[in-house]
Structure 1
Amino acid sequence: MILELSLESVFALVDIFFVGKLGQNAIASVGLTESVITIVYSIAIGLSTGAGAVVARRIGEKNADGAAHAGAQSLIIAFIISAVLTVTGMIYAGDILGLMGASKEVVADGAIFTRIMFGGSLVIILIFLINGIFRGAGNAAMAMKSLWIASLTNIILCPILIHFFGLKGAAMATVTGRTSGVIYQCYHLIKGNGIVKFTASHFNFDSPVIKTIIKIAWPATLQFIISSGSWIVVARLVAETGGTAASAGYQVAIRNVVFFILPAWGLSNAAATLLGQNLGAKEIDRAEKSVMITAKYNAIFMGIVMVVFLLFSSPIINIFTKDVAVVKFGVQALQIFGSAYIFYGIGMVMTQALNGAGDTKTPTWINFVCFWLIQIPLAYYLSEKLDMKATGAFISIPIAETLLALAAWYYFKKGKWKEVKI
């Protein structure tokens, strides 16, 4: 799972590495688009969480057919949602960038990139969702392999398509890469020999199962929309108070943050799977122990990353851009974000563990309080009222993430997740 999510983060770094050669407007276009499209990621992750929790519980109960049926029903939901997202994103691409505070030049250059990325909403959702099904079944290696294929395809195509088509070539490479991964996933779900294998009967509309998945998935989706929405607000604040250079520097820093957060998220997903399967097998103590062990190792990993960010932020940012103004903001953002990295790791494990148990409402409330009642007001206050500009917005992030980790730890230790039935 760590390798799987590391490969997912490669998408972000590959795009920004090659797009960085096209200048500030291109970097800002990609970054602002990614900030908005995290809403699509949120829905994908929410569905993945719901499907993964049900699949893991059924596998723990030794009910492989029930696991496959739940996975197939989640795909039906995904097709319906992605149709709405695709049409909306493709029609209003330019307006979306404008709402994010992008300049007219950025909108003019970047609308086509945004349009193509939203056009690929289905494959974004499917690659997350199907990997969630594989993880819930304990087949994390298959999820990893699908992202190997997707990432390698993107790495090969990105410089080629950017050379011939400019900025939109980066979007074309990303969508094509994810599509190749989804094709690989679908082949193994239908023709493979894994524990979960789909048949035509599994796709017969099953209202109770769909309701169960949605019951778990909608708070998880809202949970990630709340967190990604707060990042959108911060990205807009940075663009408004710091200009294009600050926005570009922020986006380069965020890509590096994501690169190291996603492996930690992979470890967190492992905790969710272990917890879900052990709950299905009625091994409550083992479920709790697996989460605590995972939290310890995630804290160690994120502590090492924190030191790297604090000491080597300048050479890291310089890999992606040589623009002096962009580097200045990027270095500052990376150091500030990295200052609380240990807490990020602990918070991720605890929230994912609660999600894996099917208790998606508790992390949703925690996210709402920490991001919307604390981070966003704090970002506005520091950046505008205290006139700290982009720096103030940067500072709000580690503060909110630290509070989230402490709250998630508290609610996990309370143990109400042990009583959730799905």
Structure 2
Amino acid sequence: MNNKLLIDPLEGRIGVAKKVVKLALPIILSNLLYTVESAVSIILVSGISSTAVASVGYSASMLWFIYSLMALSYTGTSVLVAQRTGAGKDPSPAFLWGLLISFLIALPLTFFGTDLTTYLMVRFGASEEVARLSSAYLEPIFMFITVGFITDTFYAAYNGYGDTKSPFKIALFMSVINISSAYLLIYGRFGFPRLEVEGAGWGVALSEIFGLIAYLYLYLFRKKPFPIRFSFERDVLLKIFRIGIPTALERGITSLSFNVFVGMVASFGDKALAAHQVGLRVESVSFMVGFGFMIASTVVSGQNFGAKNYRGLEYGISTTAHLTAFIMGLAGVFLIAFPDKLSQLFVKDKEVIHLAVYYLVIVALSQPQMAYASIYSGALKGMGKTQIPLLINITSFWFFRIIPSYVFLKLFPSPLVPWVFMSIETTLRAIVFYFAYKRIISKLI
């Protein structure tokens, strides 16, 4: 099977867009399935209390911080598999090193991940009750965190190789496991124990276990994503660290910063925090579209960079950026048109819905900008320039979002303040990413 995604700069935009959509669509659907899982978890626990909604939502945000450690293995594996595939080299060493690194990173988290996460939540402003419920939710997830990290490495290898359909099928299988087991365990249906918030955590853990089993089946019996040659080349390991460490730092610091930011909202009470989490879940449909195209842009960039097809790289990325901005712009219009209806899908509390409507209208205005920032960031990562997104994302988050929010909250104590600066920061970050990408690509073509 030829998985090379080389772009002809003389090809029409529509043809390139079709290639990118074919690559990105399974990724988008996989991530939308994850969004559905998160949404169903929120909906299921909303019958317990608004504090349960806040705890599950905030725990999911904190898990982004924990999973940032996985970025070292995930990004290194995905980018190197893409580059080696584009160059016609065996991608096995990148995949094998990725599996080993992911296991070694995850192992310590099995023992202290829950305590670390809930400690940070309290430090960032969450109430003791939110932290207590979060601990129950996180316990089963961290018990099998090594399984989750290894599963993500398989996912990275498939994406880098250009096979995005197989991970989608597995993601669909995992979603069924997650939702069904969460339903049975949260409220104790059909003789299962009633675990409430903890049941939602077991839904996540069980889905990861069955997901890894599915990936192992494809590898052992179908020889996918590619035939494995057991080779641990030292230079590949060094490249994984060179590419992956900046991304791990970026995601770790950005995620930690994001939770500092969420702490500003949490300081206005559990209802404001619940509104923020509901808003994130609604917005995540648009975000996951951008995230899917960002992964596609990394694969397109990586494979064309590996093949030294620099003009094709630039043509493919520009097409992807404009297409993604158009789609996310339409999503923004939808958020502005139906913010109350969308919020009511997750929660019935009128005060929470009222605040969530403000959130959705504000973030809707920055959806196209988020698209451009995502695609240019993905393109830079595909070229192995992961230190640039590290610098841009951290600097932008603090100087354009957190610090201005902190200052203006002294004058206008309202959760609307951080939400407004969140939208402003996204716009400014997109501009910076555009010029950074153009500077790099202009030196190649």
Q: What TM-score, normalized by structure 2, do the two folds share? A: 0.88
Partner of 1:184: 214
Q: Over aligned residues, Cα RMSD in angstroms? A: 1.9
For 1:188, the aligned partner's letter is: L
SS at match of 1:228: helix
Change (3 A) 1:94 1:351: closer
* CA displacement at 1:93 relative to structure 2: 5.1
Change (3 A) 1:95 1:25: same
Give deviations 1:320-346, integer Å, cap 9, x for gaps.
111111111211112112221110011
Partner of 1:31: 57
Give deviations 1:12-42, integer Å, cap 9, x for gaps.
2121121222211101111221222111232
Equivalent residues in 2 for 1:354-365, closer than 5 Å: 354-365=380-391
Does 1:194 pair with 2:224?
yes
Partner of 1:67: 91
Larger mean CA deviation between 243-252 and 78-87 belongs to 78-87
Rounded to whole Å, the distance in 2 between the matches of 1:181 and 1:46 is: 21
Partner of 2:80: 54
For 1:211, the aligned partner's letter is: L
- Confirm or deny: 8 A CA contact 2:380 2:437 kept in the other structure: yes
Give deviations 1:347-378, integer Å, cap 9, x for gaps.
10000110011110111111011102221101
Does 1:227 pair with 2:259?
no
Does 1:410 pair with 2:440?
no
Rounded to whole Å, the distance in 2 between the matches of 1:417 and 1:226 is: 29
Rounded to whole Å, the distance in 2 between the matches of 1:336 and 1:77 is: 40
- Confirm or deny: 8 A CA contact 2:297 2:378 kept in the other structure: yes
For 1:231, the aligned partner's letter is: F
Equivalent residues in 2 for 1:19-418, closer than 5 Å: 19-63=45-89, 66-92=90-116, 94-163=118-187, 164-194=194-224, 196-198=226-228, 201-202=230-231, 204=232, 206-240=233-267, 242-383=268-409, 385-416=410-441
Rounded to whole Å, the distance in 2 between the matches of 1:394 and 1:42 is: 23
- Confirm or deny: 8 A CA contact 1:340 1:398 kept in the other structure: yes
Rounded to whole Å, the distance in 2 between the matches of 1:122 and 1:339 is: 38
* CA displacement at 1:303 relative to structure 2: 0.4
Change (3 A) 1:87 1:207: farther
Give the length in aligned residue pairs.
413
For 2:245, the aligned partner's letter is: W
Change (3 A) 1:167 1:277: same
* CA displacement at 1:207 relative to structure 2: 3.6
Give deviations 1:89-135, integer Å, cap 9, x for gaps.
13445423322322222233332113233333223323332211101
* CA displacement at 1:46 relative to structure 2: 4.1
- Confirm or deny: 8 A CA contact 2:70 2:105 kept in the other structure: no
Give deviations 1:243-276, integer Å, cap 9, x for gaps.
0100011011112222321122111211111111
Name stretches of at least 5 consecutive residues in structure 2 with no aligned partner. 1-26, 188-193
Name stretches of at least 5 consecutive residues in structure 1 with no aligned partner. none
Rounded to whole Å, the distance in 2 between the matches of 1:144 and 1:108 is: 34
Rounded to whole Å, the distance in 1 between the matches of 2:396 and 2:117 is: 30
* CA displacement at 1:316 relative to structure 2: 0.3
- Confirm or deny: 8 A CA contact 1:310 1:335 kept in the other structure: yes
Give deviations 1:187-211, integer Å, cap 9, x for gaps.
2233323352335x24x5x443222
Change (3 A) 1:358 1:282: same
* CA displacement at 1:418 relative to structure 2: 6.5
Give aligned-pair identity as a percent: 26
Change (3 A) 1:106 1:2: closer
Change (3 A) 1:139 1:116: same
- Confirm or deny: 8 A CA contact 1:226 1:372 kept in the other structure: no
* CA displacement at 1:389 relative to structure 2: 2.3
- Confirm or deny: 8 A CA contact 2:82 2:160 kept in the other structure: yes
- Confirm or deny: 8 A CA contact 2:157 2:225 kept in the other structure: no
Rounded to whole Å, the distance in 2 between the matches of 1:378 and 1:123 is: 40
* CA displacement at 1:306 relative to structure 2: 0.5
For 1:136, the aligned partner's letter is: G
**Which is richer in helix?**
1
- Confirm or deny: 8 A CA contact 2:289 2:328 kept in the other structure: no
SS at match of 2:357: helix
Q: What TM-score, normalized by structure 1, do the two folds share? A: 0.93
